[in-house]
Structure 1
C-alpha cells in the first residue's frame, strides 16, 4: 500500500509540473499511518552536518522540517539558534506549508528576534539567540528551518538527538561529521535502532562519519519514566584536541579537561590586601573549620549578587577575584572563584567544581564538555573524619552546604592543580527529604471546619516553599500555596514561612490556618469526612499494551501526617476505617484512625519512597501499590448525629 501511495504522489507531482503548477513539498497525506499514532508532531526531515575546519573552528548546518498536528506539538514551530562572542549565525531561513504541502509564507526578517537567553546560572553561555515562532492557528501545518552556525569554540561539538521528546515521530533524520584526519572524532552511540550503524568514508583529506534513522514511531509519555534521552537514539561527539582563543587542550580524559580549566583560571584568585585582612579578622579565634567556612560563605552572600556576565573565552575564564571584590557582583564562575579566594584568605583550601545543574547527570564514561554550572567544593582537612562542604555561590538565600535538587545527586568535575577528578555531589535520601505535618481540624455541627496546620519540611521537600518565600510577595505566596491545596473550598486566614538554615539539613516551618466550608458531607443522620486533608496521592493508569520504559522514582522522601479532628458534642463516630499497612520495594505506607481519650479522632498517615529505578516489568505491581495508597487516602469517617 505504501508503494502504491508513493506512485500516486509521483504521478500527481508530474501532472502539476506539466500543468505549470508548483509541486507540493511535505504534504501531510504522505506521512505513513504508523507515524501518526500517539504523535503531536512528525519530524519529516532533520539533516545536520558538522564540519571540523581546524582545532579551533567548526561549522554546523541544520535543515529541519516538522509537521505539527495539534497545540501540544506547536512548540516545534519555534526555533532558537544560539550564539555568543565566539559563535555566529550565517543564515536562518524558514517556510510555512499548509496541509497540502503548499508554501504559504516565507520567514521574514521581522520574524527573527535577537534575545538574551541567560538562564541565571550557566557556565559557558553568552545567553543570546535568534528566535523564531511560526505557530499557525489551523492544524495540521508544516514548518521548515535552515540555518548555519560558525563556532570558534570547538570545546562543544554537536551531538545528535533525532527523537528528543515523547509524542514526536521521526520520518528521517541524519547526522554527518566531516573532520581532518589528524583530528579524529570521539563519539558515543546510544540506543540506535537495529540495523542502524555508522557509515565511515574518506572525503579527500577528511574523515566522514554518517548516521541515519528512518520511520521512528512516537514514544509515549509513560508515568514515572526516566528522561527521554535515556532511551531514545543519540550520538554524542567530542574533540580529541581543541583550542579556544589560543588556549589549547585535550579532551580524551576528565583529567585533561580539568587541567585545561585550571590552567585557564590560574592566578585569578588574588584579593586586595585590605579584603584579606578583613577575612582574617572575620574568622579570627574560630577553630572549627566548618564554622570558618560558614562565616566566609555568609559574608559572600551578604556582599555579592549574581549577574550574568559571560565574558572571557567562551564563558570559561573567570573574572579576577579582585574585580568581584570591587564590583560586588559576578557570574557563577566569578562568584565561585571569589569565594575560593576568600576561603584561601581564611586558610581554607577549596576547589571549583564543574557540574551539570538542573538536568540529568553527565555521561561519566564519555569525557566531554557536558557542564553548565560551577559550584565550590571544600574538603574538610582538619575534621575528625573525612567530610566535604559544598557551596552554591550564586544565591544570596541558598542554605549553607546544600546542593539540593539543582546540583545534588550527580557527578561533578573537581578542578585541581593536578587536573580534573570526577566526584559525587551530596545525595539526599528519604531521611533528608522529610515532611512532618500536624493539623488540628475543628468541625462544627453543619460540617464546616477551621484548620490550624504546622508543617516542618527539610531537604528537597522545603525547596518549593523556599522559592515561594524568597521570590514572591505575601499576596503571591498565598495565591501560589492555595493553588496547590487539594481541597475544593477554602480560604487562607494565616500563612507564615520561616526558614531554619542553621540545622544540618535546611528546614522550613509553615504555619497555615484555613477555613473550610462544607468540609464534611451530611446525609440524613450521618456525616462523612475524609480525614486525609492534604496528602492524597493519586493512582496511576494501567499500561495500555506493553510498557516501554523503566520506572524511575527520581526523588526519595518521607511524609508523616497527623490530623486531629475535634468533633462537636452532636457528632460521634459510628465507624472507623481499618488500619492500612503496605510494605513493598516501591516504598512503605501506613494509615490509621484512633479515638483519643478526650474524644478527638486522630488520623496518622506515613509514606516513605526511595530514589531508585525498577524494571518496566514491575509496572503492574507499582500501579497496584499506588492504587492501594490512593484508595486508603480517600477513606471516609462515618459520623453519627446525636441529640446531645
Structure 2
C-alpha cells in the first residue's frame, strides 16, 4: 500500500493524464438537454432565477441568476449581459462563468472583462443612464454562459416584469420568479399566458409575504408572419407597487389617477416664466383670433429657440427643470421643454397639459388595464376650447423639425396619461389609419420602339408614409440618390432629377412630394414583334410566406395605409397594346384592391392601382383566406402588358 501511495503521489506531481486533482463539478452539459428543447432553438435557458425583494416603499433589491446554453451563432446574443445602473440604482455584484459543451468551466468573469458604458437614448423620461456589460463569447459552439448580479434600487416606482421567454427560438428548461413583500405591503401583479401550475401558492416567510412563479420545458417558438408581438404570446408576470417613495416623494399607484397626481405634484410650481418672457409670449399671439394659429405661433417659437438635451440625474428622471431655466439657457429635456411650452402657452392665454407616453417607432402601446410606470417620454396636450367640435392639438416639444400637431410613428396610435392636479386619465394620441397614411404616385413613362424609356414620378406621402421619406429633403443630392436607388425596385435606371416639396403649414397632415426623373434602358426589350412590360413598376406586393404547419397566432396588421398609383404609358406610333390584362377587384375584411389598364383615345395606356390596408386583427383560422388575398394581389401586380409593333 505504501508503494501504491507513492506512485499516486508521483503521478499527481507529474500531472499524468487521468490522475489530476479533482476540478470543479461539471455543470450544464449539453448532452443533458432534452431533444425537444433543442428543436428550432438557437439557445436554451438552462436555469433562470429572478427575485424581487421589496425592503420598503423606498427600496428594492433585484437578484438574477441566469445560465444559457448557446447552440449556434444566432444565439450568441446571450453570451453578453448588460446590467443597468444610475444614481438611484447600484450594482452590488456582477459575476459570471463560461462552460464548454461537456460542462467543464473554461473561465470565470474577471473585473477587467466588464466594461462601463453610457446608455443615454436621447429622449428618455426616466432611464438608467449607464450600464456594465460583460461578454463571455466563445469561438466554438455549443457552450454555456452563467451570470449572477444584484441591483439595489431607490426608485421603487419600477417593479420587475418577468418574461422567461422574451424572444423567438429560445427554449426554457427552468425559470423561476419570486417576489418578497414586507408584511402589510400589497403586491400588484398581472399574469399573462401562464401554463397550468406556474403560479405557486402564496406563503408567509418570517415577516414577508412570498409570491412565486415557475415554468419549465418551454419549447422554442418560431416567428410567424404578421403575428402579435411575442411579448403578448409568451408567459409573463407584470408587477407594480401599491405605494412607493422616490427620494422622499411618496405616492400611491393603484390607478392611473394616482400616478398622474404624483407626477403632477412633483413638477408643480416649475412653470413660472420671467416677466419679460411672459410679455413676449403674449405679444406673439396678439391680434390672432384663430385658436389653432395661436398655438402654432407659440410652437414655432419654441422650435426656433430651444434645443433638446437629455437629463438623467436621480429624481431628474421625473422632475423637470424650471421653465425659467429653459428660458435662460435655451435647452432642456423632454420634461423641461414640454413644461416650458406649456408655460408659454399659458402666458398666451392657452391651457395645456403635459402627458406621459411610451415613445418609439417600434414600441407597443402600454398595458392600459394595469396602472403602472410604463412611460419614457413627455408630450403636450392642448385641448381646443373654441372648436365647433371637441378637438385636441398634440405637440412634440423636443424636435425642431416635427410638423405642428403631428405625432407620427414616434408617439401616435397609442395612449398617453394626462398630468392633472386632481389625477389624470389615459387618452388616445392621434390615430393614423389608412386615410391618413397615403402614398399617391403619378408616373409618366415615355417608351420608344426599342423598349427604352424615360420617366417622371411625382409621389405625395402623408401620415406615417411621410415619416419614411421626410428626412431625405435635408440630405445632400448624392445621399438622396443613394437612398432613392436602394428604395426603387427597378432593375436598371439612372436618376436625372430629384426634388422635394413639403406641404404647407396649414395642411391637415404633414406631407412631402418627391419628384424624380429617370432613364430606364431596356425597360421592355423586344421579343420579335412584341414588347412585354409590367405596368406596376414600383408598388408590387410580395405574398407572405405560408406558415409551416398549423398557424398558432392571430394575424395582426399594424400598419394601415393607402397606395394610389396612376401610370400613363406614352407610346410611339409604331406600338399599340395587343392585349390588356383583365381588371382585378378584391374586397375583403383584410383590405381592398383594384387594378385596371385602359387604352385612352390618344393611344396612351393608363394603369390605375389602389390598395387600402386597414389596421386590424383577426383569428388565426382566417390566415389561409388572408394568404389568398395577398396571393391574388401579387399575381395582379405582376400582370404584363403586351405591346405589338405595327411597322415590323
Identify the TM-score tier after normalising by the shorter chain.
over 0.9
1:155 aligned residue (130, 154, 157): 157
Matching residue of 1:436:
440
Cα distance in 1 for partners of 2:342, 2:440 equals 36
How do 1:554-573 and structure 2 match up within 5 A?
Answer: 554-573=558-577
Matching residue of 2:319:
317
Matching residue of 1:300:
302
SS in 2 for 1:198: strand
Going from structure 1 to structure 2, the CA distance change for 1:487 and 1:107 (only over 3 Å counts) comes to farther
SS in 1 for 2:96: strand
Cα distance in 2 for partners of 1:35, 1:504 equals 53
1:425 aligned residue (413, 423, 429): 429
Cα distance in 2 for partners of 1:597, 1:414 equals 59
1:476 aligned residue (475, 479, 496): 479
How do 1:122-521 and structure 2 match up within 5 A?
Answer: 122-311=124-313, 313=315, 315-358=317-360, 359-470=363-474, 472-500=475-503, 501-521=505-525
Going from structure 1 to structure 2, the CA distance change for 1:523 and 1:132 (only over 3 Å counts) comes to farther
- Contact conserved, 2:96 with 2:147, CA < 8 A, in 1? yes
Matching residue of 2:88:
86
How do 1:60-71 and structure 2 match up within 5 A?
Answer: 60-71=62-73
1:20 aligned residue (16, 19, 22): 22
SS in 2 for 1:187: strand
Going from structure 1 to structure 2, the CA distance change for 1:264 and 1:485 (only over 3 Å counts) comes to same
Task: Flag structure 2 segments of 5+ consecutive residues without an equivalent.
Answer: 1-17
Shift, 1:367, TM fit: 0.8
Cα distance in 2 for partners of 1:563, 1:446 equals 20
Cα distance in 1 for partners of 2:140, 2:608 equals 52
Shift, 1:514, TM fit: 2.0
Going from structure 1 to structure 2, the CA distance change for 1:46 and 1:476 (only over 3 Å counts) comes to farther
1:371-407 Cα shifts (integer Å, max 9, x gaps):
1111100111122221111001111111111112211
Question: Which 4+ residue blocks in structure 1 deviate beyond 6 angstroms?
Answer: 16-19
Matching residue of 1:536:
540
Matching residue of 2:13:
none
Cα distance in 1 for partners of 2:486, 2:101 equals 40
Matching residue of 1:5:
none
- Contact conserved, 1:125 with 1:314, CA < 8 A, in 2? no
- Contact conserved, 1:402 with 1:506, CA < 8 A, in 2? yes
Cα distance in 2 for partners of 1:17, 1:290 equals 85
1:457-504 Cα shifts (integer Å, max 9, x gaps):
11111101013435x443223212221221222222222222224301
Cα distance in 2 for partners of 1:139, 1:182 equals 49
Matching residue of 2:599:
595
- Contact conserved, 2:180 with 2:210, CA < 8 A, in 1? yes
Going from structure 1 to structure 2, the CA distance change for 1:76 and 1:312 (only over 3 Å counts) comes to closer
Shift, 1:140, TM fit: 2.3
TM-score, length-normalised on structure 1? 0.95
Shift, 1:17, TM fit: 11
- Contact conserved, 2:24 with 2:105, CA < 8 A, in 1? no
SS in 2 for 1:594: strand
Going from structure 1 to structure 2, the CA distance change for 1:319 and 1:476 (only over 3 Å counts) comes to same
RMSD, aligned α-carbons: 1.7
Cα distance in 1 for partners of 2:432, 2:241 equals 34
1:138-175 Cα shifts (integer Å, max 9, x gaps):
32222222111110000000110111111111111111
Matching residue of 1:612:
616
Matching residue of 2:116:
114
Cα distance in 2 for partners of 1:101, 1:516 equals 61
Matching residue of 2:104:
102
Decide which structure has the larger Cα Rg and report it: 2
Matching residue of 1:633:
637
Going from structure 1 to structure 2, the CA distance change for 1:614 and 1:17 (only over 3 Å counts) comes to farther
- Contact conserved, 2:86 with 2:314, CA < 8 A, in 1? no
1:247-280 Cα shifts (integer Å, max 9, x gaps):
0000011111111001100000011111111111
Going from structure 1 to structure 2, the CA distance change for 1:109 and 1:444 (only over 3 Å counts) comes to farther
1:191-210 Cα shifts (integer Å, max 9, x gaps):
10123223321111011111
TM-score, length-normalised on structure 2? 0.94
Cα distance in 1 for partners of 2:57, 2:427 equals 29
The worse-fitting range, judged by mean Cα deviation, of 161-170 and 88-97 is 88-97
Shift, 1:312, TM fit: 5.2
Matching residue of 1:586:
590
Shift, 1:77, TM fit: 1.9
2:37 aligned residue (26, 31, 35): 35
1:395-448 Cα shifts (integer Å, max 9, x gaps):
111111111221111111100111121111111111111111001112223322
SS in 2 for 1:322: helix
Cα distance in 1 for partners of 2:482, 2:138 equals 33
Cα distance in 2 for partners of 1:73, 1:478 equals 36
SS in 2 for 1:406: helix
Going from structure 1 to structure 2, the CA distance change for 1:225 and 1:381 (only over 3 Å counts) comes to same
Aligned residues: 628
Cα distance in 2 for partners of 1:515, 1:108 equals 60
Task: Flag structure 1 segments of 5+ consecutive residues without an equivalent.
Answer: 1-15
1:21-61 Cα shifts (integer Å, max 9, x gaps):
54322122222111122222211221111111111011111
